Structure 1
């Protein structure tokens, strides 16, 4: 029976999702090796240490993706499952909050965002993204028939989901993880307006937030940046606004990212020939892996990666738009938003368009939590695609 089910579902596998994923993972593994091998050798470690780990993450991710693909999506609606997942994520985030207060030395790059479990390092904020997507898709699709025309009425209707999600966003922000908190907020906004609420409300909200941010940045640009400010987040923003003047306060990352992109030109210096990965860009295999990619493979190589990411995004949002169930639509919108905003923040950060937030590039940057969460998320979208195809074939 199970084997028959597997065979019947394999024929509905969406290769428009699967192929970009596989190619991106291959690109990512290659660039992780290139960006990390020199540093590993300097530290007296095996040059392929991070490359080997990344391959393990990719393999685990692929297994999780296929398990999720063959899973019945009704499992994700199970209240016991949702409660358990919510409790685990909340406890993990509260643990990080306590850790940051009582063991400040546990912070990495100014943030306490990781939990060490033996040889594994878990980043709860990554799993929080998946939780919010699954939780909101379930809660909002259940209230599909209760949506009202009034904005205030809808806010009352969605009060409980907003409070829970806001609590998670606050805990992530406190780490401090501005990038992660922003992604979670974007997911919430997109999924709420994916229910069919008036786009006017969405436009008004986005305009208000954007205007506020622009005003704050305008004020900060005229701030006396020689003043000693002990806030990590504040210094990161100032170094984004004045990278060359504040090169010793964090601006060096952005400056060296510019150098890497400039060195690469259109066609790059060749695989393995990056200069900036040799101690100039810290941990070049994570946040700034696209800078190293541009230096070695050129703008052309980088555009190939961006094109693959946007092909994947286009397919995910296409499935969401054409889905026959709101639950499917909201899952696709939420997952697509995670990948889109992560890509936007990562690329915007290394170009100096947005502040550097420590957000990794999906499927390319080194990282186990991110790779596994994104693989599970993609498995959900593959599952939705198969169900929609099967339903269309039955009609």
Structure 2
């Protein structure tokens, strides 16, 4: 064990680690700045209410990070770990279905309350689950078959499980998470090393089942397109026509971004967080960052997240281990998709979906599960470095 830790620390991915820490601390500062009025007016607490809660979230996240960072990633391919991850997922979604709660205005049921821990969002765990389960399933199949002979029917269980997970998240109904789950599944399969022709077969299977789930949702869940969701779609084309209701968030986000200009108004000097922009500490925290810090804030966030995505894909491209490649590519694609969907919603590039900005937005479930994923990625990075040094010696 002592020798393992020594070798681990010698090959620890410090640039990736300090980027994650830096983004999390920067996010903590911006959560305090953006949520002061919301904390006092809506929550009836002190101005540091959300800040203190996020500090507690980060402590739990740090513990989870170091646990997964020192846990050898190869163990995720074992049947025991796969079964454990599946049982946890089943418990969370059963709990959500029976006792879940969410935002009534959009008809969502995305949260469960865990005694002693507070609210937890199962869809965040589902993202990490799909990465680990898909990677393990494809890796185990690769030990028995050559990918040239592998057919979709031979990985029926992971595909079926992905369908159940996607259906569970879609029925919450969390559109942003559903899109991310699709992107993750495609990225993991693409990174598995299967030939291009077979990859398209898998993509077709996933597409057919995904379309089927959407059809079932539209058929049996009549309240899927609530007034709020329809409004988001309509306001996407011209938010200023709906400035007083469903377009309020995007319009005030524009005002925040435009008001900040190149250099920003200064830290803590946002106007739009003073009751104009709803939930400034979560989905729209980037608008506050741009208003207060201007282009420099954007460079910190986009640069940091871009570096994490780059590291994930570069690890996936360098490693010779299919399991490591799939895990790294899955985590990198997760961060990439979530960043794009959040920033796209804030800037009006795509319709709003309620997705948080990784490591920056307020949210316990998000920062904890993302930290677990970063620990796994750093563990993969360490083993990839050891592998590379052996080949060079």
- TM-score normalised by the chain length of structure 1: 0.87
Contact 1:313 1:336 in 2 (8 A): yes
Contact 1:147 1:154 in 2 (8 A): no
Deviation at 1:65, TM superposition (A): 1.1
**What residue is the counterpart of 1:118 in the other structure?**
115
Deviation string 1:299-339 (CA, Å, 9 cap, x unpaired) is 23212210111011111110011112000000001111110
Pair 1:132–1:305, CA change in 2 (3 A): same
Deviation at 1:368, TM superposition (A): 0.9
Pair 1:231–1:96, CA change in 2 (3 A): farther
Contact 2:102 2:111 in 1 (8 A): no
- Of residues 287, 303, 307 in structure 2, which corresponds to 1:307? 303
Map 1:109-258 to 2 at 5 A: 110-119=107-116, 120-144=118-142, 146-149=145-148, 154-199=151-196, 230-258=226-254
- Of residues 339, 352, 356 in structure 2, which corresponds to 1:356? 352
Corresponding position: 1:55 with 2:55: yes
Q: Distance in 1 between matches of 2:382 and 2:268?
A: 40
Q: Distance in 2 between matches of 1:245 and 1:173?
A: 29
Secondary structure class of the residue paired with 1:244: helix
Map 1:59-78 to 2 at 5 A: 59-78=59-78
Contact 1:99 1:112 in 2 (8 A): no
Deviation string 1:76-124 (CA, Å, 9 cap, x unpaired) is 2332332222122123223323446xxx777475421111123511111
Contact 1:90 1:168 in 2 (8 A): no
- TM-score normalised by the chain length of structure 2: 0.87
**What residue is the counterpart of 2:324 in the other structure?**
328
Q: List alignment gaps of at least 5 residues for structure 1.
A: 214-228
Deviation string 1:331-383 (CA, Å, 9 cap, x unpaired) is 00111111000000000010111111111101000111111111111111111
RMSD: 2.5
Q: List alignment gaps of at least 5 residues for structure 2.
A: 212-224
Secondary structure class of the residue paired with 2:119: strand
**What residue is the counterpart of 1:89 in the other structure?**
89
Matched residue pairs, number?
371
Deviation at 1:385, TM superposition (A): 1.2
Corresponding position: 1:282 with 2:278: yes
Q: Distance in 2 between matches of 1:326 and 1:184?
A: 20
**What residue is the counterpart of 2:260 in the other structure?**
264
Contact 1:97 1:174 in 2 (8 A): no
**What residue is the counterpart of 1:39 in the other structure?**
38
Deviation string 1:38-89 (CA, Å, 9 cap, x unpaired) is 2212243111111111122222212211121111224323323322221221
Q: Distance in 2 between matches of 1:133 and 1:332?
A: 9
**What residue is the counterpart of 1:368 in the other structure?**
364
- Stretch deviating more after TM superposition (114-123 or 69-78): 69-78
**What residue is the counterpart of 1:346 in the other structure?**
342
